[in-house]
Structure 1
Amino acid sequence: MNRPQPIKVLIVDDSAVVRQVLAELMNKAPDIEVIGHAMDPIFAMDRMQKQWPDVILLDIEMPRMDGITFLKKIMVEHPTPVIICSSLTEKGAETTMQALGAGAFAIFTKPTMGVKSFLQEAAQELVASVRAAGAARVSRIPRLALHKPTAKLSADAVLAASTGAMAVTTDRFSAIGTSTGGTQALEYVLSALPRTCPGLVVVQHMPERFTAAFAERLDNLCEIRVREAKTGDRIMPGLALIAPGGKHLVVKRSGAQYHVDVIGAPPVNRHCPSVDVLFRSVANSAGANAKGVIMTGMGDDGARGLLEMREAGARTFAQDEESCVVFGMPKEAIRMGAAERVLSLSEIPEVLER
């Protein structure tokens, strides 16, 4: 029986220490092979003419050509999953948005000090991202922001399970959860919605400081209003509220209206914000007054919460494998019977609008 070919990785970073550490971490995984490294994109292009990688680990600030320019060139000439691994992205949310807009598969932030020890601690998450990138349909959509590994808690760490369905009201809204591939998928979905559509609450896995810039970018592209959620915001027609990075987003009912709270709590399913937390809060507070949609993403965050929503009377949907960049979260939701229907990305706006 033939063993599957390893994922071929090219490392592009002007730091010799970073190149060495990343190469050592990648080569420890039996299914990953580092085929080369380069100190800048010019050297990288020469290397890629001999052998094209499956995944590229790319810094942003480099001599002769910056990472964003190189990324754009790759995505036009030969779309390939690119994971940005840069300290600049930690303090430059706008740069991160440029990378995501140019087609970066993932954003991995590294500190300016203690890079070697940080990369070693975060090796498990980085390797998992490379594996997801190697299996992704990069021409369909791409992206994600990664987090340092944490203990895997359930939504019980933040909210108690629902004790009963809520009465039907005239206020209706939809909850969306997504991760890897979600930034561009959300751009597609939200930009297709009219101002009259029901309100939306959204969890996109992203680190702190990036979600405000992400929401602002979507607001400029969409007919509906999009903003980073704040405690007390009312869910209203024509408005999408994006969960802030590093905080959980929960929905609460006040009379016949729905508001959100932004709360600090431990990561759930290793994510903060967590889709499971949002979906559980929707099941608890809204029941049949809500719809839930789980979209492209790595892992299983949101699958159990979507099931709780369905059991509470909500309409529930999952993105199909064909249109997902990574069919992890929707696949788990479908397996658990959480999704009432499976939809292509192009079908999701119509379901949200109705």
Structure 2
Amino acid sequence: MERIKVLIIDDSTLICHVITEVLSADSAFEVVGAAHDPYEARAMIKELKPDVLTLDIEMPKMDGITFLRNLMRLHPLPVIMLSTFTAKGTDETLTALAIGAIDYMPKPRSGAQDMAMSDFAEELKGKLKAAASVKNKIVMSLPPASRQHSSPVLKPLNLENNIGQSVIAIGASTGGTEALQEILSVLPKDIPPIVIAQHISASFSARLAKRIDLKSVISVVEATDGLALEQGVAYFAPGGRHLKIERHGTRLICRVEDSALVNRHKPSVDVLFDSLNAVNVEVAIAVLLTGMGSDGAEAMLRLKKEGAYTIAQNEESSLIWGMPGSAVKLGAAVDILPLDKVSQALVKKLKT
């Protein structure tokens, strides 16, 4: 098997050394070079033809966001962002994902313990392998004037506000931040409550919810413990916390927990989907979107067996067909749909 060729782009000599050391110890990777600024990186990309890049945000001569925009317009490649998770860094990382970066990671901290460095190494290698696997899916981005206008918001459902009787649960991971925006931004204001488990870091979930909220007619918020589910609102699990829903009489509420990882994740889609299965609603809908691994697949199968309507994003429109693909293999999906058909399918189901 050919090794994955990695180009590191970071102005820190220490970070370049750490990443090189981590990847050189694994025969699956070949570090072809380390560029200390985007201009150096541009020349190295042409010469070395890497399969995947790691990219810092704050660099001399040109920032990582500007470089990424140019890259995706002229020579698109899979990119993993490495950044410090400050408030500014978080917003810029979300911007990078919107531009076309595959995923993100925090930079390793100097003086980190062996266990923390081991976790960093395993996570980095997993994300680089996933990014390299979708190299052929990375497409050249269009200039702003050529981009299609956003899809129109779907027509209102005109249903009775039957609080506590209809819920949509969505799970996503790699590629999910943009997939979720595409779905949520076109849903009508009277959609039943939506609960979401997106694999995301603690500093990102509130900002991601705010970004999608600004582009949607429904309200999009980060869930808090005890918050009641309302029509026309989507609730993101806080990064680093599980989200469940519980019944309190006729109402459903968010339950946010800091318990153990499930399927190596917190929030876990399985945890969210299983909680939906336990609250006894008239209409339960579960959706699995793009992402690595299999989180959510088994719980989706349990929901389907109890009569829920279940959707898996199809392979062609998924950045990573791990989670939805696992659901399909288990027979857990009632429908397998391209991303741009998911919102319409939700509305159609709720109107029947």
TM-score by length of 1: 0.86
Q: Does residue 330 of structure 1 match 2:327? A: no
> Is the contact between residue 165 and residue 281 of structure 2 (CA under 8 Å) also seen in structure 1?
no
Q: Does residue 345 of structure 1 match 2:339? A: yes
Q: Does residue 21 of structure 1 match 2:15? A: no
Q: Does residue 73 of structure 1 match 2:58? A: no
CA distance in 2, matches of 1:285, 1:192: 27
Aligned Cα root-mean-square deviation (Å): 2.1
The residue that corresponds to 2:138 in the other structure is 138
CA distance in 2, matches of 1:10, 1:140: 19
CA distance in 2, matches of 1:40, 1:114: 25
CA distance in 2, matches of 1:170, 1:28: 53
CA distance in 2, matches of 1:11, 1:204: 27
> Is the contact between residue 87 and residue 112 of structure 1 (CA under 8 Å) also seen in structure 2?
no
Aligned partner of 1:269 among 263, 268, 278: 263
* Greater mean deviation of Cα atoms: 330-339 or 275-284: 330-339
Deviation of 1:115 (Å): 5.5
Alpha-carbon distance change, 23 to 313 in structure 1, aligned in 2, over 3 angstroms: same
Aligned partner of 1:82 among 64, 79, 83: 79
> Is the contact between residue 316 and residue 338 of structure 1 (CA under 8 Å) also seen in structure 2?
yes
The residue that corresponds to 1:278 in the other structure is 272
Deviation of 1:260 (Å): 1.1
CA distance in 2, matches of 1:121, 1:176: 27
Alpha-carbon distance change, 183 to 290 in structure 1, aligned in 2, over 3 angstroms: same
Q: Give CA-to-partner distance per residue, 1:100-127, whole Å, 9 cap, x none.
A: 2222211101254326954444211111
> Is the contact between residue 311 and residue 337 of structure 2 (CA under 8 Å) also seen in structure 1?
yes
> Is the contact between residue 273 and residue 296 of structure 2 (CA under 8 Å) also seen in structure 1?
yes
**What code does the residue aligned with 1:252 have?**
E
TM alignment of 1:158-177, pairs within 5 A: 171-177=165-171
Q: Does residue 49 of structure 1 match 2:41? A: no
TM alignment of 1:196-275, pairs within 5 A: 196-275=190-269
Structure 2 alignment gaps of length 5 or more: 142-161
* Greater mean deviation of Cα atoms: 36-45 or 211-220: 36-45
> Is the contact between residue 252 and residue 285 of structure 1 (CA under 8 Å) also seen in structure 2?
yes
**What code does the residue aligned with 1:337 have?**
G
Structure ranking higher on relative contact order (CA contacts 8 Å, 6+ apart) = 1
Alpha-carbon distance change, 170 to 98 in structure 1, aligned in 2, over 3 angstroms: closer
The residue that corresponds to 2:186 in the other structure is 192
**What code does the residue aligned with 2:124 have?**
L
CA distance in 2, matches of 1:169, 1:311: 24
The residue that corresponds to 1:99 in the other structure is 96
TM-score by length of 2: 0.87
CA distance in 2, matches of 1:249, 1:225: 18
CA distance in 1, matches of 2:345, 2:192: 11
Deviation of 1:95 (Å): 2.3
Deviation of 1:275 (Å): 0.4
> Is the contact between residue 61 and residue 88 of structure 1 (CA under 8 Å) also seen in structure 2?
no
Structure 1 alignment gaps of length 5 or more: 142-167
Aligned partner of 2:125 among 124, 127, 150: 127
Q: Percent identity?
A: 42
> Is the contact between residue 202 and residue 240 of structure 1 (CA under 8 Å) also seen in structure 2?
yes
> Is the contact between residue 291 and residue 323 of structure 2 (CA under 8 Å) also seen in structure 1?
yes
> Is the contact between residue 140 and residue 325 of structure 1 (CA under 8 Å) also seen in structure 2?
no
Q: Does residue 36 of structure 1 match 2:63? A: no
Number of paired residues?
325
CA distance in 2, matches of 1:120, 1:334: 33
CA distance in 2, matches of 1:24, 1:185: 34
> Is the contact between residue 169 and residue 256 of structure 1 (CA under 8 Å) also seen in structure 2?
yes
CA distance in 2, matches of 1:170, 1:114: 49
> Is the contact between residue 167 and residue 285 of structure 2 (CA under 8 Å) also seen in structure 1?
yes
Deviation of 1:226 (Å): 0.4
SS in 2 for 1:94: helix
CA distance in 2, matches of 1:11, 1:39: 8
**What code does the residue aligned with 2:39 have?**
I
TM alignment of 1:308-327, pairs within 5 A: 308-327=302-321
> Is the contact between residue 165 and residue 282 of structure 2 (CA under 8 Å) also seen in structure 1?
no
> Is the contact between residue 89 and residue 109 of structure 1 (CA under 8 Å) also seen in structure 2?
no
SS in 2 for 1:292: strand
Deviation of 1:204 (Å): 0.6
Alpha-carbon distance change, 216 to 172 in structure 1, aligned in 2, over 3 angstroms: same
Alpha-carbon distance change, 119 to 43 in structure 1, aligned in 2, over 3 angstroms: farther
> Is the contact between residue 312 and residue 328 of structure 2 (CA under 8 Å) also seen in structure 1?
yes
> Is the contact between residue 102 and residue 175 of structure 2 (CA under 8 Å) also seen in structure 1?
yes
The residue that corresponds to 1:152 in the other structure is none
Alpha-carbon distance change, 84 to 66 in structure 1, aligned in 2, over 3 angstroms: same
> Is the contact between residue 108 and residue 120 of structure 2 (CA under 8 Å) also seen in structure 1?
no
CA distance in 2, matches of 1:49, 1:278: 45
> Is the contact between residue 8 and residue 34 of structure 2 (CA under 8 Å) also seen in structure 1?
yes
TM alignment of 1:287-306, pairs within 5 A: 288-306=282-300
